[in-house]
Amino acid sequence: MLTLDHLTVTYGATAAVDDVSLELPAGQVLAVLGPSGCGKSTLLRAVAGLERPRAGRIRFGGQDVTTTATHRRGFALMFQDGQLFPHLSVAGNVGYSLRLRRTSRAERRDRVAELLGLVGLPDYAERMPGTLSGGERQRVALARALAVRPRLLLLDEPLSALDRDLRERLAADLHDILRAEGTTALLVTHDHDEAFTVADRIGVMREGRLVQEGTPAEVWRHPADADTARFLGYAAVVAGAAAVPLLSAAGLRAGAAGGLALRRSALRLSVGGPLTGKVHSVRTTAEQTRVVVDLPDSGRLDAVAGLDVAVRPGDVVRLGVDPSRVALLPVVSGAGTSEGPGPAWPQA
Ligand code: ADP
Ligand code: MG
């Protein structure tokens, strides 16, 4: 198991990683999710031994490895651009570290074949990196990183260079491959879909700090704060008094919540619904009608309606709130109602 204990890494006067503590049990995949510049790569590089922490400890399997040389940690790294050796074949790349370890030729051939099968490229052994697509290159890079069965696999935005379709498919494959190998992995990414698809646990990082840690379901259902909710892809956050009618319409107890985050489809036009609003604009997509509504107490919010519902700007409509598409946000001490009943701020 990997344990980070109050880890801080600084560049000059600024802390890129600021007092981060976390635990990653053996065999699990932890994704640290956060916006660009929040310190993800620095965290990963410190775990790899490529940055020296200013303070705190890194332990693995009960051993303190804080000052252990990179190559003695037994960890493997994989980056956004797999960085294959261009002059080696796919088999040469995947088997590279096995050759360094003087693994026998037969053993190496078997392991390379096993890994290429695992990453879905069984017939690619003789291909050269220059002839591969971006997705294929990342699969080869993953096979290469897994070849020596690292104690810990460190992945820095492994799918970010790929286009969306490929990224989604490869994220699902990455999940299955890491499970099949029983790999303990720490992945950092700015892409919440990638994090939620691949990981057993999610950490949310902002400005060098770990602001939340939990299972994907916990993080999704209970974001630590408004910024986290927006970062996770909730379309709007409504706080204070403006949240009360929405909470009540969702059948949720307002008492403990400082506000709520809404998915784009949380509000739905429904005859006899508990809320009344005025239609601001209407847009039709292939699957549903997207409506922007003004609610007297909660401001301007997104809503959806069935394709059979005909509404126009200016119409007064009734709406309901789907409680499975909202998340309650904790009360922020001192800032609870300061935002007042003003408008919700829809995500750009
Ligand atoms: P992320 O991977 O989340 O995008 P990084 O860990 O790369 O973030 O960077 C975190 C912060 O540390 C940023 O403000 C970045 O500018 C700064 N930083 C990263 N590497 C260096 C470096 N080698 N020297 C100085 N500042 C750095
Ligand atoms: Mg980075």
pLDDT digits (tens, 9 = 90+) for 262-291: 999 999 999 999 999 999 999 999 889 999
pTM of the model: 0.85
Residue type, 141: A
Atom from ligand 1 closest to the CA of residue 39: 6
pLDDT given at position 258: 80
Span from the CA of 188 to the centroid of ligand 2 (angstroms): 8
pLDDT given at position 162: 83
Span from the CA of 35 to the centroid of ligand 2 (angstroms): 9
Low-confidence ranges of the chain (pLDDT < 70): 254-256, 332-348
- Return the residue whose CA atom lies nearest to atom 17 of ligand 1: 16
In this structure, what token pair is assigned to residue 211?
């602001």
pLDDT given at position 254: 67
pLDDT given at position 346: 37
- Choice from 41, 42, 189 to test ligand 1 binding pocket (greatest atom count within 8 A of CB): 42
Cβ-based neighbours of 32, under 8 Å, separated by 6 or more: 40, 43, 186, 187, 188, 189, 202, 203, 204, 205, 210
- CB of residue 39 inside a 6 A radius of ligand 1: yes
pLDDT given at position 344: 37
Q: First CA to last CA across the chain, in angstroms?
A: 40
Distance CA 23, CA 103 (A): 33
Residue type, 205: M
Span from the CA of 343 to the centroid of ligand 1 (angstroms): 35
pLDDT given at position 333: 54
pLDDT given at position 83: 86
Cβ neighbours around 149 below 10 Å, total: 12
Cβ neighbours around 249 below 10 Å, total: 21
Is 17 in contact with 189 (CB distance < 8 Å)? no
Could you give phi then psi for residue 343, rounded to 5 degrees? -70, 150
In this structure, what token pair is assigned to residue 263?
């998915």
pLDDT given at position 167: 86
